């Protein structure tokens, strides 16, 4: 089952079940007002089915606006979880090449705070390049959706927008390279965990278009992810609580060659098996 946050034609914000091109609003309930409330249920699928069965309205895709599938959750990210990311990071940073090599091979993963909800772009909303950066890439990442008990309840598509020049200049600049307005794309909706294929069968594809032409295309698979979900979640949850739940981007396995940078006006498309396609225009400043 897939769950989205939508705006209905009469302007209401709602949680909806996605079924092909149809969006069925979950009936209003005191207990389950937000997407996070449904994800926090012992059985989110059963709750959604129950609320859908009392639903007043179903809309076609053209009638609703899709919103980022996030309420008040924090957004975190893992880094250097694919061999391709380790190689790219070692190329971009003289100062930190050894750090990236060591973190790829260490039991403790790299985890960093990525975004608050207001910095997240949903489907069709712009992701940003910082004004003070000249070398930028999208990072297409399978994203775990965790409830307030830090249980894995779903998956979505994530874009960990990154300023490679800032990140490469000094590893202590990582928060500035990663966390700024419009730094993260999430969407188009959440696929509940039971409906996802096994991780090794999940294909991840990135396309960047400029003036209608494809200027970058790449793909990878969850089979290349060097860490397990349990491993990443276990480290994230150590001495850490998430009363509203948390999203965890699991790292990129697709990094364009070093002569590629995103430009304002580009369009980024990320397609992940079992979830769907997230498309965002790119703006700068």
CB nearer ligand DO4, residue 82 or residue 242: 82
Which option in ligand DO4, Mg ion, none does residue 69 bind, with CB closer than 5 to 8 A by kind? none
In terms of CB distance, is 160 or 269 closer to Mg ion? Answer: 160
Contacts (Cβ under 8 Å, ≥6 apart) of 255: 84, 85, 87, 88, 137, 139
Find which of Mg ion, ligand DO4, none residue 75 binds, CB within 5 to 8 Å per kind.
Answer: none
Strands (E), the chain: 2-7, 13-19, 22-25, 58-60, 65-67, 74-79, 110-115, 120-121, 127-129, 136-137, 140-146, 152-160, 162-163, 184-192, 203-210, 213-221, 246-249, 267-272, 276-284
Q: Which is nearer to ligand DO4, 48 or 262 (CB)?
A: 262
* Residue 266 partner contact from ligand DO4, Mg ion, none using kind-dependent CB cut-offs of 5 to 8 Å: none
- Binding to Mg ion (CB under 5 A) within 15-74 occurs at none
Q: Please report which helix (H) or strand (E) contains residue 88, including its range.
A: helix 83-92
- Taking the complex as a whole, the smallest distance from the CB of residue 229 to ligand DO4 amounts, in Å, to 15
Site for Mg ion, residues 158 to 177, rule: CB under 5 A: 160
Whichever of 41 and 199 has its CB closer to Mg ion, that residue is 199
DSSP of 162-229? EEHHHHHH-GGGHHHHH-STT-EEEEEEEEEGGGSPPGGG-EEEEEEEETTEEEEEEEEEGGG-SS-H
Contacts to Mg ion from residues 121-150, by CB under 5 A: 139
Closer Cβ to ligand DO4, 31 or 102, answer by number: 102
Give 97 or 152: the residue with its C-beta nearer to ligand DO4: 97
Q: Which of 252, 268, 269, 279 touches Mg ion (CB under 5 A)?
A: 252
Number of residues that bind Mg ion (CB under 5 A): 3
Residues at the site binding ligand DO4, with contacts judged by CB under 6 A: 77, 79-80, 85, 89, 110, 139, 160, 167, 174, 251-252
Ramachandran category for residue 42: left, alpha or beta (phi over 0 → left; psi -120 to 50 → alpha): alpha
Q: Give the binding site for Mg ion (CB under 5 A).
A: 139, 160, 252
């Amino acid at each position: 089952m897939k769950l989205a946050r939508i705006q209905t034609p009469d302007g209401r914000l709602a949680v909806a079940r996605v079924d092909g091109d149809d969006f069925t609003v979950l009936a209003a309930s005191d207990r389950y007002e937000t997407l996070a409330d449904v994800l926090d249920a012992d059985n989110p699928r059963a709750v959604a089915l129950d609320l859908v069965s009392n639903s007043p309205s179903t809309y076609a895709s053209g009638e609703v606006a899709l919103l980022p599938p996030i309420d008040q959750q924090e957004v975190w990210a893992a880094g250097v979880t694919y061999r391709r990311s380790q190689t790219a990071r070692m190329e971009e940073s003289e100062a930190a090449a050894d750090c990236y090599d060591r973190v790829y091979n260490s039991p403790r993963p790299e985890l960093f705070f990525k975004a608050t909800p207001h910095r997240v772009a949903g489907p069709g909303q712009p992701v940003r390049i910082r004004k003070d950066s000249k070398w930028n890439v999208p990072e297409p990442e399978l994203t775990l959706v965790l409830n307030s008990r830090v249980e894995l309840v779903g998956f979505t598509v994530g874009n960990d927008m990154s300023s490679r020049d800032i990140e490469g200049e000094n590893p202590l600049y990582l928060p500035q390279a990663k966390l700024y307005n419009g730094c993260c794309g999430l969407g188009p909706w959440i696929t509940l965990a039971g409906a996802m294929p096994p991780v090794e069968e999940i294909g991840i594809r990135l396309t960047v278009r400029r003036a209608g032409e494809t200027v970058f295309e790449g793909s990878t698979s969850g089979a290349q992810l060097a860490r397990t979900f349990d491993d990443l979640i276990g480290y994230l949850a150590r001495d850490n609580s998430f009363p509203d739940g948390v999203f965890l981007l699991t790292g990129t396995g697709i990094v364009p060659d070093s002569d590629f940078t995103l430009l304002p006006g580009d369009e980024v498309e990320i397609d992940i098996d079992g979830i769907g396609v997230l498309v965002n225009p790119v703006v700068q400043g």
